């Protein structure tokens, strides 16, 4: 059964249809990509799926449950976590604290827990996971840096690490490759594959076709709010509609 099921989703901003009747499903354990030029409606679709915006019509199901109308934090608690195009995170906190915030469960971060000190027991396990993740990503030495002091590449990695600390079932990546040094894109792709191998389903939006075709099992191409082609990467590269959008129609 597919983990995420988007059916007939439309998002209108006044008279502008940002997303038109989009349907797609994401199988558990796969990497699915959505590509398309600027203004194709990719981010609008992400917003609707993650509760940051409401669909004008259509339904979004996660693990069989209709999640339309839920708040973003409610969507996240069901296991679906997204990233943002600008990966600033919590800029006044250190890399370490960014991960700790993400890893802490609701009952340990309440005002009551702060007053009675009940958070201390769970904190140890969260610290262990944060350490593991930082060492894996080569961020351990930067752990005490405040985000706003980090170089952009490390900010991006921290963004990734923070959202992973939440232990999502599904991760939605909004342009993970943008602003990443071309030489580091291969490492980013490996990282995403590793995350998938650990059981996290991934939906990724990006402009970088090479990167997307490299990692995705299934690619959906959007243009002007509609899905114009879907299929495995090797099929997509030969699809006429896609070639037309990206390269222009041969005369």
Partner 1 sequence: MTGVLLFFVGVLTLAGIYAILAMTLNLEAGWAGMWDLGLVGFVAVGAYTYTILTQTKFDDVIIHPQLPIWVGMLGAAAAAAAFASVIGLPTLRVRGEYFLITTLAFAEVVRQVAVNTQTITRGTIGFSELSRPLEGTFPGTGNRIVLLVIVWIGVVLVYLLLRRIAHSPYGRLLRGFRDNDPVARSLGKATNHHRLRTYILAGALYGLTAPMYLWYLRSVTPHLFAPDITFVTWTALVIGGIASKRGPIIGAVVLLVLTESVSLIQGSANLAVILASMRFVVLGLLLILIMRFRPNGLTDERSAFATVQSSDSL
Interface region with partner 1, contact rule CB under 8 A, candidates 15-23, 92-100, 190-198, 238-246: 92-100
Collapse the DSSP code of 62 into the 3-class scheme (helix H, G, I; strand E, B; otherwise coil) and give the result: strand
User: Per CB under 8 A, does 85 bind partner 1?
Assistant: no
| First-to-final CA distance of the chain | 43
Total H helices, total E strands in the chain: 10, 10
Residue numbers 141-200 binding partner 1 by CB under 8 A: 143-144, 146, 162-163, 166
Phi (first) and psi of residue 199, to 5 degrees? 105, 10
Residue 119 interacts with partner 1 (CB under 8 A)?
Answer: yes
Distance CA 32, CA 219 (A): 6
Binding mask 17-56 vs partner 1 (x if CB under 8 A, - otherwise)? Answer: ---------------------------------x-x----
94 is an interface residue for partner 1 by CB under 8 A: yes
CB of 98 to partner 1, least distance (A): 7
Q: How far is the CB of 21 from partner 1 (least distance, A)?
A: 26
**220 contacts 235 by C-beta, under 8 angstroms:** no
Decide if 100 contacts 120 (C-beta within 8 A). no
- Residue 158: φ, ψ to 5°: -65, -40
Q: Count of residues binding partner 1 (CB under 8 A)?
A: 45
In 64-108, at which residue ranges do the beta strands (DSSP E only) sit?
65-66, 80-82
Residues that bind partner 1 (CB under 8 A): 50, 52, 71-74, 76-77, 81-84, 88-94, 96-98, 100-102, 104, 106, 108-111, 113-115, 117, 119, 123, 127, 130, 143-144, 146, 162-163, 166
């Amino acid at each position: 059964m597919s983990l995420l099921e988007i059916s007939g989703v439309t998002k209108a901003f006044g008279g502008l249809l940002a997303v038109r009747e989009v349907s797609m499903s994401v199988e558990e354990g796969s990497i699915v990509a959505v590509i398309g030029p600027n203004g194709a409606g990719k981010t609008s679709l992400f917003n609707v799926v993650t509760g940051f915006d409401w669909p004008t019509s259509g339904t979004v199901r996660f693990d069989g449950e209709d999640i339309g109308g839920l708040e973003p934090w409610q969507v996240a608690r069901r296991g679906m976590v997204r990233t943002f195009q600008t990966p600033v995170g919590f800029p006044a906190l250190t890399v370490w604290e960014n991960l700790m915030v993400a890893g802490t469960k609701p009952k340990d971060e309440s005002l009551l827990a702060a007053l009675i000190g009940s958070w201390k027991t769970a904190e140890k396990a969260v610290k262990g996971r944060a350490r593991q993740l930082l060492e894996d990503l080569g961020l351990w030495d930067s752990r005490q840096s405040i985000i706003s002091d980090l170089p952009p590449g490390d900010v991006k990695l921290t963004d990734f690490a923070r959202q992973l600390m939440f232990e999502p079932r599904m991760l939605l990546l909004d342009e993970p490759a943008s602003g990443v040094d071309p030489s580091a894109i291969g490492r980013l792709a490996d990282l995403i594959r590793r995350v998938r191998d650990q059981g996290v389903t991934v939906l990724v939006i990006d402009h970088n076709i090479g990167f997307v075709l490299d990692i995705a099992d299934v690619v959906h191409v959007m243009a002007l709010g509609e899905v114009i082609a879907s299929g495995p990467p090797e099929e997509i590269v030969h699809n006429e509609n896609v070639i037309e959008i990206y390269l222009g129609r041969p005369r």
